Structures are given as C-alpha cells and as structure tokens.
C-alpha cells in the first residue's frame, strides 16, 4: 500500500526515526571517535577484531567495559563523555544517506509528522 493510502486510511499518524545510519551515515564519525579514544594519537590503529566489535552496534557502556575492563565506572563515564565530544566535533560534516532527504520530504508532503 503506498504511503498516501496508508496515511489516508489512518494507519500512519507519525514517524519515529533512528537518525544514526537510517537517515544519515553517522558511523564513520563514531568509528573515528572510538579510534581516537582507543589509540589517542599514538599512531596505532584499531585492530580488525576491534573494528568488528565497533560495528556490532553495542551500547556505549558495553563497549567501554570491553575496551577498558580495568577502568572504574567513573573513569568509564569520563571516557564515554570524551568519545561523545570527539564524535560531536565532526557531526557538522554529516550527510543524509542516499535518498534520505527525498524520503523525508515525501513524508512531509504527505503531512506525516516526525514524533
């Protein structure tokens, strides 16, 4: 059923979007932030195994526990804030995924609001 038919039938009242990776490709910024946090400008790179772990979509607290098993919860909190700062510093370069802007425009033209 096309979007307009669903809207007219009352099935869609709004759309909830997960921005990370759905409407914009934020993953490179998160990878860059984790790499900086883990390697800290040492010239080393994140291992292939750890790159895979980063791409699994785990929660930040689980990733911090994995990469910093000896850190206290307070230290992990500080590290987590630092990772977010590193990521946020580059988000001004964030671009929509291919077709994402048009899709959002199409939803808006159907008067389907984000929620």
Provide the token pair at 13: 């009242």
Residue located via tokens 């785990």: 58
pLDDT at 2 over 70: no
What mean pLDDT is predicted for residues 5-24?
A: 68
**92: which DSSP letter?**
G
Domain ranges of the chain: 1-25+100-115, 26-94
Model confidence pTM above 0.85: no
CB within 8 Å of 111: residues ≥ 6 apart: 7
Query: What tens digit of pLDDT does each residue of 29-61 get?
Result: 888 899 899 888 666 778 888 888 888 878 889
Q: Report how far apart, in Å, the C-alpha atoms of 58 and of each of 52, 55, 65, 80 are.
A: 11, 8, 11, 13
Query: What tens digit of pLDDT does each residue of 61-105 get?
Result: 999 999 999 999 999 999 999 999 998 898 888 888 888 778 878
* CATH architecture observed for domain 26-94: Orthogonal Bundle (1.10)
* Cα distance between residue 36 and residue 39, in whole Å: 5
């Amino acid at each position: 059923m096309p979007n307009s038919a669903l809207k007219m039938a009352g099935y869609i009242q709004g759309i909830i979007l997960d921005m990370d990776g759905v409407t914009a490709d934020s993953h490179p910024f998160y990878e860059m932030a984790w790499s900086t946090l883990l390697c800290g400008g040492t010239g080393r790179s994140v291992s292939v195994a750890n790159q895979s772990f980063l791409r699994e979509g785990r929660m930040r607290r689980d990733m911090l526990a994995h990469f910093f098993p000896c850190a206290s919860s307070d230290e992990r909190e500080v590290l987590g804030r630092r990772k977010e700062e590193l990521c946020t510093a580059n988000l001004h370069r964030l671009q929509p995924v291919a077709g994402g802007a048009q899709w959002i425009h199409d939803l808006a033209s159907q008067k389907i609001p984000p929620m």
